[in-house]
Amino acid sequence: MKKYRRTRRFWIIGLGALGLAAALLLLPYFIPLSQASQTLQGLKQMPFSNSEVIDIACNSFHYRMYPALADSVKGKVLLVHGLGGSTFSYEESAPQLARDGWLILSVDLPGFGYSSRNPNYNHDQANRALDLWTLLDGVDSQLSPQLAQMPWFLAGHSMGGGTVAAMAIKDEARTAGLILIDPALSEAGGGSILTQFPPAVRLMQVALERFLLSEAGVRRFLTSAYGRAPTPEEISGYLAPLTLPGTARMAKNLFKSADVPDAALLSKTSLPILAIWGSLDTWVPPDESQKLLDIRPDAEIYIIEGAAHCPMETHTQEFVQILLDWLQEQTL
């Protein structure tokens, strides 16, 4: 009789544990997530006075143009943000570069900023590179023949550093030079085993939308990235696009398909390379610059003292001066 009771108690506890586990796994699916189509929606007007949108393969890309404010255009520069960023990441630096005579284009990668939230978009850097070259084709077609023929300087921050590296590798002839800002060039892509487990993915999406993509979440994110407390304007600039419908849904494919390029292929190019790092960057530490130098010993490395992961935002004047001096050298 006692043995029967123990067995019965064991089965009751086991079935209860299984039921609880099943309930926890299914619970995230009962919490709704916002949705967005592949094209921009929900915007009554463009977010910035210089906002433009182009559709590429059924995905809408939001970008901003800053015409060169000089008698003659010195060249063209593409600016690509990092994870969680947008064109706002260059809000202060882009106009300063334009005032010095450079045509500047900053772009939101799919899933970020005011570009579309297609949950099935392939975030592989090679695919992003292909789409961004298509975008630049469209932009060049609207410029004067002389300006359209100029190659592009490609600048990317963090994750965006991998994007522009992939662009340079794909089409060196159209690239004037590569500018890497605290670049993420050596992280493993493809996500973790959790991204292959649907309930875990759904739980991550719910946590993003309900807790992380919030004012408090963005404040924590920027405090770490900036190495200081962000201002209310900085929090708002990041938060506004992150709370657009569909942002959390696109995270599933972002972590599954995102990958870095084979940076070693840069050794086969002769492109000039500039890398700018914050000395206090804990996300992509400046020691990572050695990996770039192993590939391209001629790359120019600048360390901005006191800056963390986003020197173009926290140390704008020093960042812009380094960039302008280097760009000037390349056009002599």
* Domains of the chain, each with CATH number or no CATH: 51-190+259-330 (3.40.50.1820)
Token digits of residue 225: 């990235």
Strand-pair category, 152-157 with 51-56: unpaired
Go through the chain and tell me how many residues it has. 332
Strand partners of residue 35: none
Sign of CA dihedral 107, 112, 118, 119: positive
**What single-letter DSSP state applies at residue 178?**
E
pLDDT at 189: 47
pLDDT in tens, 234-246: 999 999 999 998 8
pLDDT band at 39 (very low <50, low <70, confident <90, very high): very low
pLDDT in tens, 213-240: 889 999 999 999 999 999 999 999 999 9
pLDDT in tens, 183-211: 998 654 445 555 666 676 766 766 666 76
For the residues 67-76, what does the mean pLDDT come to? Answer: 92
Residues 140/148, Cβ–Cβ less than 8 Å: yes
Question: CA neighbours within 13 Å on the CB side: how many for 38?
Answer: 9
Q: Compute how many other C-beta atoms are within 10 angstroms of the C-beta atom of residue 2.
A: 6
For the entire predicted model, the pTM comes to 0.88
pLDDT at 106: 98
pLDDT at 193: 52
Is pLDDT at 252 greater than 70 in this prediction?
yes
Alpha-helical (H) ranges within 27-144 are 93-99, 125-140
pLDDT at 71: 82
3-state secondary structure 194-261: HHHCHHHHHHHHHHHHHHHCCHHHHHHHHHHHHCCCCCHHHHHHHHHHHCCCCHHHHHHHHHHHCECC
Lowest-pLDDT choice from 74-78, 114-118, 259-263, 286-290: 259-263
